[in-house]
Structure 1
Amino acid sequence: MTTTTPAPAGPPDEERLRRWRLVLGAEGGEGTGCALGDRDAAMDAALGALYGGGPARRRGGGERSAGLGGSAPAVARWLGDIRTYFPSSVVQVMQRDAIDRLGLASLLMEPEMLDAVEADVHLVGTLLSLHKAMPETTRQTARTVVAKVVERLEERLAARTRATLTGALDRSARVSRPRHRDIDWDRTIRANLKNYLPEHRTVVPERLIGYGRAARSVRKEVVLCIDQSGSMAASVVYAAVFGAVLASMRSLATRLVVFDTAVVDLTDELDDPVDVLFGTQLGGGTDINRALAYCQSKITRPADTVLVLISDLYEGGIRREMLQRVAAMKAAGTQVVTLLALSDEGAPAYDREHAAALAALGAPAFACTPDLFPEVMAAAIEKRPLPIP
């Protein structure tokens, strides 16, 4: 972590010793003979509070001890310190480690603590898992934190998603033999420029491009079916943002369904992804079969529908029926995509047997980054091979 922090100028050997001293901590770094300046000493204290001052002096040791304790004021000061000495990406990692290693999740139910943290997708996932237990005063602060993260994600993802899917929808609606009044002259001319005849100053349109009336009136349908078990927290956050973006596109009809052992349809909340997120309940069991049964009942035009199942596929329901439902939807013409994760974290632990069975049915299962998701959706809409990473 310390490699990203600007270092004072000095000989290479001195700088190397400084870094080793910060990595090893006060006790472990004694052998380096490196004295720390005021700023480095403050950084060392912040690292030591979380990761310990050196090797633990106890039987079977080897792990550092840590010392943030359970004091909210002390933790708030520490959060301020790490934001002073480390870049945002490192701060987010240290916050996650503090929550995981030191059990500080309960302190996030205090408004002053939420004001001090660096908000990111993982923090949102933690807040969503806690929000049912939060006092009312903290809940509003938590919504503000979540809203900031959602706004940043929308800025990052919305424009590219709309542009990519608008192009895909246009291409999927094109017809090669349009009526005269339905010809798209701009695209037709561009597609036939190679047939330009200079002597006649004209283009010979060997291939006409246009839109059929029926095609123009048909809206593609997208169903996002999201596993809200605790391990899928980051995926739920990204899916809520994408759901809101897709719902804003008039050429798409978007449905958002979340599930554990129960199924909740959050389509009516899609105008506000923050409301969607606070309508979820991270944790609990998983019944994919029940969720797919609900989604299947809502599909009225299978050939014009893309169903995206976002789950690690650890099924607590009836496995045989789950696979039969996917097979039936595929046979009816529905495009089925299975995402093991929708996040920047890579593939999570998942049920490999179920993933292989779905792939055999023509519903490949793979992890997807948020930046790749628009391309995956575009390919599904156009019914071409998916850009599997």
Structure 2
Amino acid sequence: MDDEAEMNEPGALTPDGERERRWRLAIGAADETSPALSEDDKRLSAALDALYGDGAGDAAADPRKRRGGLGRSAPRVAQWMGDIRSFFPAQVVQIVQKDAFERLNLKQMLMEPEFLKAIEADVNLVADLISLRSVMPSKTKDIARTIIADIVAKLMQRLEQKTAEAIRGALDRSRRTNRPRQRDIDWPRTISANLRHYQPEHKTIVPEKLVGFMRKQRRLVDLDEVVLCVDQSGSMASSVIYASIFAAVMASLPVVRTKLVCFDTAIVDLTEDLSDPVEVLFGVQLGGGTDINQAVAYCAERIERPTKSHFVLITDLYEGGNGQELLRRLAALVRSGVNVVVLLALTDQGRPGYDPAMAGSVAALGIPVFACTPDLFPDMMAAALRREDIGAWAAGADIKVVRAETEAPTAGE
């Protein structure tokens, strides 16, 4: 409890008083009469006791057993979330929220506008909102869309530049241009060429002439094609969100042609919506069964030039359809020249639950099978587009790839 102690200095306590304070915070015994606890300490203890106190964990099964708990009032939960945010950093807040959803069955609270406004937004919240959107009231749905748009914008900001740079490839530094893109500007030469435009009162240079590098251009007919085929069953929710965002980023680049197909037992081709990642996410149907074979067949029919195509299948490989037919289809794609990669997860944790037997069978076809974090995905795609050995790339990135003997994979940090 050192962090909490530092955040809430109660004043001049004796060493015994400070020990008592820490002990009471640790065990959740918020004695209103104890001089060891400040008002902030009591708020912190009460906020944690509502979730982790005696009986709170039984609330989902039987609300009558709850002694603490958050209740079913949206304003009360919003106040609780405000208390939690005042004591902990965002990462800890997200963990506490996740515990609240699981222990107290707070999914129904996502239907309340007041709760949505108070909650700390993250990828898991996007998945929850998408799964509940069909039963949300109109007012709540509008707020949910705004929250999702905000999270997507932050993720795009985090992932877009690295993805673009990795996929576009190296700059052609042998040629220069006076009309470079912002990321292609040669700043030392630009500053040198504009020194006469220095503004002393602003202590800056006004660059009237930009100097930058040209990129190697590729004809449209030569463009590689990337097909992202994503399992949208409930266990893959975070992977669907990240894959959709990456697909939208890649679709905006003129150096590759990108397609996005999501599936459970049905298939949703979202390629036409890639200009709007929020719209893509609202086209996803999280949950349901899994027919990977059917989805692979759909994608295979739409691959026009196998030797210029890259097929990234994102799934936990729990096949509800025809497993043997799935393996035959994947083998046929490899033989035709398609660069096939199977990602068991595309999440920040990178530690998936998956079907080890099917993963081993897919790996036996010579297909790399592993989990990947969003931060590593752009580099993985760049290596795939260069037709590098993805297994060797994964080893260099400290990622464990599934072998035919079905080792458990983890993604590098």
Q: Normalising to structure 2: TM-score of the pair?
A: 0.77
SS in structure 2 at match of 1:224: strand
1:73, CA displacement in angstroms? 2.0
Task: Report if aligned partners of 2:264, 2:289 keep a CA contact under 8 Å in 1.
Answer: yes
Partner of 2:195: none
Partner of 2:98: 96
Q: Please state if 1:305 is matched with 2:305.
A: no
Task: Report if aligned partners of 2:17, 2:36 keep a CA contact under 8 Å in 1.
Answer: no
Partner of 1:207: none
Measured in 2, the distance between the counterparts of 1:322 and 1:11 equals: 69
1:349, CA displacement in angstroms? 1.0
Question: What is the letter of the counterpart of residue 274 of structure 1?
Answer: V
Q: Which moved more, 1:4-13 or 1:78-87?
A: 4-13
Structure 1 residues 233-252: aligned runs within 5 Å: 233-252=237-256
| Cα distance, 1:55–1:259 mapped onto 2, change above 3 Å | closer
Measured in 2, the distance between the counterparts of 1:272 and 1:368 equals: 24
Measured in 2, the distance between the counterparts of 1:73 and 1:212 equals: 57
Task: Report if aligned partners of 1:25, 1:54 keep a CA contact under 8 Å in 2.
Answer: no
Q: Please state if 1:220 is matched with 2:233.
A: no
Partner of 1:275: 279
- What do residues 102-155 of structure 1 show as CA deviations (whole Å, max 9, x unaligned)? 111111112121111111011111111111111121111100010111000001
Measured in 2, the distance between the counterparts of 1:250 and 1:233 equals: 28
Partner of 1:60: none
> Is there any run of 5+ residues in structure 2 with no aligned partner, and where?
59-64, 177-214, 400-413
Q: Please state if 1:253 is matched with 2:253.
A: no
SS in structure 1 at match of 2:385: helix
Measured in 1, the distance between the counterparts of 2:122 and 2:217 equals: 45
Partner of 1:130: 132
Task: Report if aligned partners of 1:24, 1:54 keep a CA contact under 8 Å in 2.
Answer: no
> Is there any run of 5+ residues in structure 1 with no aligned partner, and where?
58-62, 172-183, 188-210
Task: Report if aligned partners of 1:96, 1:123 keep a CA contact under 8 Å in 2.
Answer: no
Question: What is the letter of the counterpart of residue 333 of structure 1?
Answer: G
1:6, CA displacement in angstroms? 2.4
SS in structure 2 at match of 1:79: helix
Question: What is the letter of the counterpart of residue 35 of structure 1?
Answer: A
| Cα distance, 1:97–1:327 mapped onto 2, change above 3 Å | same
- What do residues 41-60 of structure 1 show as CA deviations (whole Å, max 9, x unaligned)? 10111101111158999xxx
Task: Report if aligned partners of 2:334, 2:340 keep a CA contact under 8 Å in 1.
Answer: yes
Q: Please state if 1:315 is matched with 2:316.
A: no
- What do residues 197-248 of structure 1 show as CA deviations (whole Å, max 9, x unaligned)? xxxxxxxxxxxxxx99987740110001010011111111111110110000
Measured in 1, the distance between the counterparts of 2:18 and 2:315 equals: 46
Task: Using the aligned pairs only, state the percent identity.
Answer: 52
Q: Normalising to structure 1: TM-score of the pair?
A: 0.81
Measured in 2, the distance between the counterparts of 1:223 and 1:335 equals: 10
Measured in 2, the distance between the counterparts of 1:345 and 1:2 equals: 26
SS in structure 2 at match of 1:26: coil
Measured in 1, the distance between the counterparts of 2:280 and 2:98 equals: 23
Q: Please state if 1:71 is matched with 2:73.
A: yes
Structure 2 residue corresponding to 1:25, chosen from 28, 38, 41: 28
| Cα distance, 1:235–1:212 mapped onto 2, change above 3 Å | closer
1:7, CA displacement in angstroms? 4.5
SS in structure 1 at match of 2:225: strand
SS in structure 1 at match of 2:281: helix
Partner of 1:3: 3
Measured in 1, the distance between the counterparts of 2:39 and 2:348 equals: 36
Measured in 2, the distance between the counterparts of 1:126 and 1:47 equals: 23
Q: Please state if 1:381 is matched with 2:385.
A: yes
1:12, CA displacement in angstroms? 7.7
Q: Alignment RMSD, CA only?
A: 2.9
| Cα distance, 1:55–1:276 mapped onto 2, change above 3 Å | closer
1:348, CA displacement in angstroms? 1.7
